[in-house]
Amino acid sequence: MLKGVDPVLTGELLKVLDEMGHGDTLLLVDRNYPAHASGKPVIHLGDITQTRAAEAILSVFPLDTFVERPLERMEVDDDPSIVVEVQDEVLEVARAGHEKPLEYGIVPRLEFYERAKGVYAVVKTLESRPYGCFILQKGVVFD
């Protein structure tokens, strides 16, 4: 254990987050997502919610302030107007630590799978609520 570091952030996850550069993307996915299909490293966080995973990740991971939508969610049932509870929760966590107003980018499900091939890494939880799949774009640390 490390003092002052969220215990959800494993050594493996901290290493990946640290190695990522500005503009790199991270996938945060639920238990139903085919995480290994992207061919990228997969870090398993176990039986926690997407909300809890987002709290931990965003405690050290700056979202990009140079793009309009550094946080994107998977579209629900081919309808961009549908937002499920897990998506609302993750957005609220992200807004709390972001210096600009923040809204989701919405990615159709099949496009989400294609975009997953270009991410730096995948973080998978055992979240049971559907559509708990997100793309986070890393920003810059100025301090």
Annotated active-site positions, please? Answer: 22
The β-bridge relationship of strands 134-137 and 25-29 is antiparallel
Are 126 and 33 in contact, with CB atoms under 8 Å apart? no
Among residues 90, 51, 54, 53, the alpha carbon closest in space to that of 73 is found at 90
Residues 58, 8 contacting (CB under 8 angstroms)? no
| Cα–Cα distance measured from residue 143 to residue 132, given in angstroms and rounded to the nearest whole number | 31
